[in-house]
Amino acid sequence: MALLPDVHYQFATYFDSSHKLSPYLYTLSRRINEGHICIDIREPLPQQTLDAFQLGRQPALTDHQLIGSPEDLVHPFILDNDLLYTQRLYKYETHIAGYIKQAATAKSRDIDMIKAGEWLERYFPGTGSTGPDWQQIAAASALLHNFTIITGGPGTGKTTTVAKILSILWHLQPSCNIALAAPTGKAAARMAESLHLSGGTRTPELTEKFRQLPSGTIHRLLGTLHNSIYFRYNRSNPLPYDVIVIDECSMIDIALFSKLLSAIPPHCKLILLGDKNQLASVEAGSLFGDICNTLPRQNQFTPSFIDNVTTLSPQQGLLLAARTTTAPHLLTDHIITLEKSHRFSDDLGIGLISKAVIENDTEVLNFFCDMRGNDAVQIDFEYNEAIFRQFIQQFSAYIFDAAGKRQDILPALQAFHHCRVLSAVKQQEAGIYNLNLKIELYLHQRGWINMYDPYYDYRPIMVTRNNYTLGLHNGDTGILKKDPADGVTYAYFLVRDDNGTEQVKKVLPGLIAAYETCYAMTIHKSQGSEFNNVLMILPPNEDSQILSRELIYTGITRAREHVLIQAARSVFMEGCSRKVVRYSGLPGRLQ
C-alpha cells in the first residue's frame, strides 16, 4: 500500500508542481506549523526539504505568478524584504504593525497633570529605593499614552500596577468604561480576581467599579459569531470601551492579535501585560516577545517622556534622568519592564536559576547542577523514584487534615493548589497521562482514593473547554466528591465572592462535558498558575524538539517556594541552550 505524501508536500505541490516554488512552500508550511509567520528565502532550505523533492541543490526563487508584493496583495503568497509569507499571515502582520505605529504616535487624551500627579503619588508613595519605582513609571506611561506594554517576571507586580492605574483613571474620569480580557477564561478570571483584591485602600464606589469590571476571553470580548472566523466587534464596529487591559499576552497568536487590534477604537487606551520570557502561543507567532524585543535596551526613555514624568512625580523624573536614550525607537516610552521581583531574590534560589535559564548563563546553571540545587531548588538527574514519591506524598494534604481526618471540600480545594507536577509533554513515560496514572496508583495503594471509580472522591479535575453557562473556563481546576447530604457526586470549584471571600461552587460532573485528571499538567497549561511547590519532569531524550529555555523558565517560575527538577543533566543544559526563535517580519517593520 502506497503512503500518501505528508500534508506539507501536498500543500506545496497543489500550488506548484514544477518544483521551482514548491520547495519554498513546503518549508513555509512546515515552519508555520512550528509557529513561524514567514521564512527567510536567503537561508538554505533544510535538507529535509531537498530530500522531499529529490533535489541536489536549492533552486533559485525567481519571480512567480503566485507571489505578490506589499503593493500587490492579490496573490496567495507575499514576498517582502526576502521574507516569504502566506497572504493571510502577511495581512495580519501588516495590520498589527500599522496599529502599533498609529497608536504609539497618536496623541492621547489630555489629562489633568496636577491631579494625575497627586493620585500617582498617593497610590505609589515610594519604596525608599535609590532606583526608579518601575511600577510608578509604568503607571505614568499608561496615563500618558494610548498604547502601553507592561512586562516582567512573576512577582514583579504587573497586576498590582494595573489595579492602581485603573483606580487613578477612575478618579480622573469616573465615567471611564473599562474591560479586561485574556487569551483563556482561566487567565481572565484570575486577573479579575487579582485586580479586585489588589491596589490598596479603595472607596466603596471604587470597590464596586472593580467588582463590576467585565472580564473574559478575548474571543468573548470581541463577540464570537457562530460558525464564523469573524467577530461581532471589528474595524467597522469597534469595542465600546475607553480602556482595555489584556493579560497573558505571550499566549496570543497572530490571527487573534490582529482581530483584537482591529476592534480597538482610536481613542481607547490599550494596556498589554505579560512576561516576554514565557512560552509563546501554541499557534503561529510570538508577537508579545517580538514587540518587547524590538527595543535594543529596556527601560530607556526620551527626554520628553522624562519631562512629563517629572511633572507627575519630580522624584521619579530625577531618578529617570540617567535612563535617557540618545537613539529613540518607535516604542521607547511605551514598553516598561518591571525589574524588581517582590517574590524572588535575583541572587538566590528560584529567582537566580530562572534568570540563569532565560539568559543561558552556563556558569550559574552548572553551579546549580553541581550542587544539585539549594533550599528552594532541587535537581534530580536520575529520575529517582523515591524522590518522586516523596514529592507526590504532598497530595495527601488535600485529602487528610492534620488530625488524619478526611478534608471537607473547602480546605481540600485550598490545599490542592499547594503543589503540582508539571511535564513538557502529554505522551511518553514522562508525559502527563502516564504521570497521572502513577500518582493515582500511589494514592490508591495507600487506600486514599479508589482509582477504579471514575468519579472517586477527591479526584482532581481540570476543565478543558469553556462553559459559559456554568461559569467554568478552560484550565479551571476542581475536585470530585460525594455530597454526604444527598449521596450525589459533584465537581467542586473554588471561587471568590464580591468581598474576596473564598466560596465553593458545585456542579454535576456530567454537565461539564470536557475535563481530565490533573495531579500532573503540561507546562503550557500551567501558564498563569502558581503553586507553592512544583515538580517539573523533562523528557529523558535531549533531542526532544519541545525543549527550550522558555519552556524550562515557565515551569520553574510556576513555583512560589520550592521547585524540584527531574531531568538528565545533558537534557537540562541542552534545553537551556535552545532559544525559541520564530521568524517574523514584525520587529523590522517597527523600526
Both 206 and 308 in one domain: the answer is yes
Question: Does 501 reside within a domain?
Answer: no
Higher pLDDT, 32 or 215: 32
Cβ proximity of 360 and 576 under 8 Å: yes
| pLDDT on residue 200 | 62
Q: Which of 276-285, 335-344, 381-390 has the lowest mean pLDDT?
A: 276-285
Which of 282, 310, 340 marks a domain boundary?
A: 340
Both 187 and 281 in one domain: the answer is yes
| pLDDT on residue 233 | 94
Both 412 and 532 in one domain: the answer is yes
521: which residues sit within 8 A by CB, 6+ positions away? 420, 421, 422, 423, 432, 462
Which of 276, 310, 340 marks a domain boundary?
A: 340
User: pLDDT band at 280, cuts 50/70/90?
Assistant: confident
Question: Does 43 reside within a domain?
Answer: yes
Strands 83-86 and 477-482 come out as unpaired
Rounded to whole angstroms, the Cα distance separating 276 from 591 reads: 19
Nearest to 210 by CA among 256, 248, 162, 255: 162
CB atoms within 10 A of CB 559: 27
Q: The CATH number of the domain where 215 resides is what? A: 3.40.50.300
Both 440 and 557 in one domain: the answer is yes
Question: Does 285 reside within a domain?
Answer: yes
Question: How large is the greatest C-alpha to C-alpha distance in the chain, in angstroms?
Answer: 78
Q: Span 290-306, mean pLDDT? A: 90
Cβ proximity of 382 and 529 under 8 Å: no
| pLDDT on residue 277 | 86
Rounded to whole angstroms, the Cα distance separating 78 from 84 reads: 6
Both 435 and 400 in one domain: the answer is yes
Both 136 and 19 in one domain: the answer is no
Average pLDDT, the chain: 88
Residue 175 CA: distances (Å) to CA of 166, 170, 242, 425: 12, 7, 9, 47
Position 250 pLDDT exceeds 70: yes
One-letter amino acid at 465 equals R
Cβ proximity of 327 and 136 under 8 Å: no
Highest mean pLDDT among 87-91, 194-198, 539-543: 87-91
- Element (DSSP H or E) covering residue 435: helix 432-445
Query: How many domains, the chain?
Result: 3
Both 174 and 300 in one domain: the answer is yes
- pLDDT tens for residues 319-369? 888 888 888 888 999 999 998 877 777 777 888 999 999 999 999 999 888
φ and ψ of 538, to 5 deg? -100, 150
Rounded to whole angstroms, the Cα distance separating 529 from 290 reads: 23
Nearest to 218 by CA among 239, 236, 194: 239
Highest mean pLDDT among 60-69, 392-401, 525-534: 392-401
Highest mean pLDDT among 323-337, 429-443, 495-509: 429-443
Instruction: Go through 449-484 and write b for each residue having 16 or more CB atoms within 10 A of its CB, e for each that does not.
Output: bebeeeebbbbbbbbeebbeebebbbbbbbbbbeee
- pLDDT tens for residues 170-227? 999 999 999 999 888 778 777 887 787 765 667 788 888 888 888 888 888 998 887 7
Q: Span 277-290, mean pLDDT? A: 83
Cβ proximity of 384 and 499 under 8 Å: no
User: pLDDT band at 5, cuts 50/70/90?
Assistant: low
Strands 559-566 and 531-537 come out as parallel
Distance from the Cα of residue 239 to its chain's centroid: 23
Question: Does 178 reside within a domain?
Answer: yes
Both 378 and 331 in one domain: the answer is no
Residue 223 CA: distances (Å) to CA of 78, 228, 229, 231, 254: 30, 11, 11, 5, 18
| pLDDT on residue 373 | 67
Q: Which of 181-195, 241-255, 421-435 has the lowest mean pLDDT?
A: 181-195
Rounded to whole angstroms, the Cα distance separating 465 from 476 reads: 9
SS (H, E, C) 219-276: HHHHCECCCCCCECCCCCCCCCCCEEEECCHHHCCHHHHHHHHHCCCCCCEEEEEECC
Which of 285, 316, 340 marks a domain boundary?
A: 340
Higher pLDDT, 97 or 476: 97
pTM for the complete prediction? 0.88
Question: Does 587 reside within a domain?
Answer: no
The boundaries of the domain holding residue 27 are 7-94
Q: Check the CA dihedral 550-552-553-558 and report its sign.
A: positive
| pLDDT on residue 201 | 63
| pLDDT on residue 567 | 93
Both 243 and 295 in one domain: the answer is yes
Q: Span 548-553, mean pLDDT? A: 92
Position 269 pLDDT exceeds 90: yes
Q: Span 235-241, mean pLDDT? A: 94
Rounded to whole angstroms, the Cα distance separating 439 from 404 reads: 20
Question: Does 505 reside within a domain?
Answer: no
Question: Does 589 reside within a domain?
Answer: no
Position 2 pLDDT exceeds 60: no
Contacts 24+ apart (CB under 8 A), 479-486: 479/398, 479/409, 479/412, 479/413, 479/416, 480/455, 480/456, 480/509, 481/409, 481/412, 481/457, 482/457
Both 22 and 170 in one domain: the answer is no
Residue identified by cell 499571515 is: 89
Both 143 and 292 in one domain: the answer is yes
Question: Does 506 reside within a domain?
Answer: no
Both 252 and 295 in one domain: the answer is yes
Higher pLDDT, 75 or 204: 75
Rounded to whole angstroms, the Cα distance separating 447 from 403 reads: 17
